[in-house]
Amino acid sequence: MASKSLTHVTLNPLDHFPPSNYTFFCSYLPLKDGVTPDEVVSVLQEGLRRTFTQLPWLSGKVYPQSSTAPGWRPGQLEIRYDVADFEGDIALRQIRVNHVYPDEVGMSYEDLRETGFPLDAFEDEQLITAELLPSLDSAPDCFKAQINFLEGACLLVVGTQHAACDGTSYFDVWKIFASNCEKLQQPGSPWPEAPSAESQDRTILDRIWEKESTGTPMAQVDPESWSLLDLQRPGAPKIEAAKSLKTLSDDVMQAAVFYVSPEKFSALQKHCAENKPTGMNISGNDALSALVWRCMLKAKYKAALAGGHMSISKADLAAAEARLFVTLDARPDISHDMPMLYLGNLFFVNICSQPLSSLTAPETSLGIVAQAIRSVLNKATRQALLDAYTLAREVGDLDRIRLNRGHTPNSFDMVLSSLLMFPVEGVAFGGKVFANGGRPDAVRPLMRRFNRASQVCFVLPRKTYGGVELVLNLFEDEMNILLEDEEFMEWCLHYSF
């Protein structure tokens, strides 16, 4: 057996930006007739082992770095891993096996398929035992998975620790894992090429910054760059923060899946682009974001007026500000030298703020809302992104830049995370043990904790035929209002809860 020899990987400043949560998605994989659970476990274990060989840091854990490490500052994190942990045929600690029985959930796999793979069929704890928001002092694994067997199918939940991967790199890791599982079932076929060392290099951002930054002093950085890290500029009016993401509400929201057809998606973009200013391009993502933001906030506003969950006076409601936090993948924009495949954190947040009364007014068009969102997104220039990295590099305590501010159910703040352009439709886990060529019937985020902690909408990767699924959460009375909103339902089909 190989001797224990830890490798330490210092995380860069942007790896300290996200909360310490896992990103968990469930892939619904039908099995071929006659395939046993042991055969499936063997494929997934060996596929992950191969993935760890290509990405050894993924096998490790996130730790607070020792204060004696070179360049240490308060809040500094690192990944520690040992290749001995995945060599040979040792069972991988990162994968857990579970069996779910139809009488426990009242549904078979066929029932799940026929009802659109509803989010409320399972408690999150039935599908994954790992803590969604672990303390970083507990040394969370970079990668966690649980194989859940339901007769005729495997419900594979995969998660990456946010300090190690953002949403984009999560799906890159997921694709690499799937590809290795597929090749295991194709004897004689070449293994997928390992990602380049550059794509795993946590120092590449610093090299780009040293080469391309203008050297703007921290005190002179524009407000837009502070906003990209959700930081308040010194001397700026204080914004009241919502409760921490670690705070769970006693009230539980309801999550729902909606579908936008290719025709509706194209028409929505054209609708929102009418009467736009010269030179402004409204993307399909802008249009969908405008629809979701306006209609979700209309539902919350109407429910609050009717005495719903939010305890707020009419005067405060009239003066309320709505904030939309849109995650921004900076890979395409920060530098030509940044590889598009970068397996770390390289995201910021665009914050669009509008008076609630204006955002929800009958005379406010979706085009106006889309323009407001696009105007904010256009401020995230290459220089603004590099200046935001200046702030992250120069902050004295890295805990200061962590996104701990919540977007709680009882506020008018919400997060929109769009994975629209991420290509996952060709992803397959292999056709020897899995039916459908190993392609998932559906991919869904686990929402139960979000339903008690954060107002959120996930726009899922676009289908090959152009359709889009989105997942969002609201309280039941708010959801009922949304489902009756003609403006929203003109474009969206309610799929399932």
Q: What percent of the chain has a predicted confidence (pLDDT) above 90?
A: 82
Q: Which residue(s) pair with 470 in the sheet?
A: 258, 459
Which stretches within 276-434 are classed as H helix?
A: 284-305, 314-319, 356-359, 366-378, 382-394
Minimal CA–CA distance to 300: which of 485, 497, 474? 474
Token code pair at residue 373: 């969102």
- Tell me if residue 82 falls in helix, strand or coil: coil
Rounded Cα–Cα distance for residues 145 and 25 (Å): 10
| pLDDT of 2 | 43
Contact yes or no for 91/104 (Cβ under 8 A): no
User: Taking residues 432-447, what's their average pLDDT?
Assistant: 96
Grade residue 1 by pLDDT with cuts at 50, 70 and 90. very low
Rounded Cα distance between 414 and 325, Å, is 6
Q: Indicate if the pLDDT at residue 329 is higher than 60.
A: yes
Per-residue model confidence (pLDDT) at position 3? 46
pLDDT at 17 over 90: yes
Q: Select from 22, 15, 129, 3 the least CA-distant residue to 64.
A: 15
* Owner of token pair 């936008």: 260
pLDDT at 246 over 80: no
* pLDDT score, position 239: 59
Q: Is the pTM of this model over 0.85?
A: yes
With residue 37 as reference, give the H or E element that holds it: helix 37-54
Question: What's the number of CA atoms in the CB half-sphere (13 Å) around residue 334?
Answer: 29
The pair of structure tokens assigned to 220 is 């002179």
Q: pLDDT band for position 165 (50/70/90)?
A: very high
Instruction: Please give the backbone phi and psi of residue 277, each rounded to the nearest 5 degrees, phi first.
Output: -60, 150
CA distance 183 to 429: 8
| Burial (CB count within 10 angstroms: exposed 0-12, middle 13-18, buried 19+), residue 2 | exposed
Q: pLDDT (tens digit, 9 = 90+) per residue, 442-494?
A: 999 999 888 988 899 999 998 888 899 999 999 999 999 999 999 999 999 99
Place of tokens 């619904």: 28
Domains of the chain: 7-200 (3.30.559.10), 204-422+443-496 (3.30.559.10)
Q: What distance in Å separates the CA atoms of residue 418 and residue 444, rounded to the nearest whole number?
A: 14
pLDDT digits 0-9 by tens, 209-240: 999 998 899 989 999 999 999 998 887 766 55
Distance CA 459, CA 168 (A): 13
Mean pLDDT of the chain: 93
Among 382, 326, 343, which Cα is nearest to 143's? Answer: 343
Q: In what order do the strands lie in the sheet with 77-81?
A: 7-10, 77-81, 61-64
Q: How high is the pLDDT of residue 174?
A: 97
Q: Point out the least confidently predicted range of 39-48, 117-126, 302-311, 467-476.
A: 302-311
N-to-C CA span, the chain: 49
Question: What pLDDT is recorded for position 309?
Answer: 76
Q: Summarize pLDDT for 38-56 with one digit per residue, the tens.
A: 999 999 999 999 999 999 9
d(CA 407, CA 394): 27
Higher pLDDT, 311 or 201: 201
> Which tens digit of pLDDT belongs to each residue from 377-397?
999 999 999 999 999 999 999
Rounded distance, CA 142 to CA 460, Å?
Answer: 23
Tell me: the pLDDT tens digits for 55-107?
999 999 999 999 999 999 999 999 999 999 999 888 999 999 999 998 888 99
Question: Does residue 18 surpass a pLDDT of 70?
Answer: yes
Closest CA to 125 of 6, 50, 24: 24
Q: Contact 299/322 with Cβ under 8 angstroms?
A: no
Amino acid 295: pLDDT: 99
The 8-class DSSP code of residue 306 comes to T
pLDDT level of residue 207 (50, 70, 90 thresholds): very high
Distance CA 381, CA 392 (A): 17
**What is the side-by-side strand order in the sheet with 153-161?**
95-99, 143-150, 153-161, 22-30, 442-445
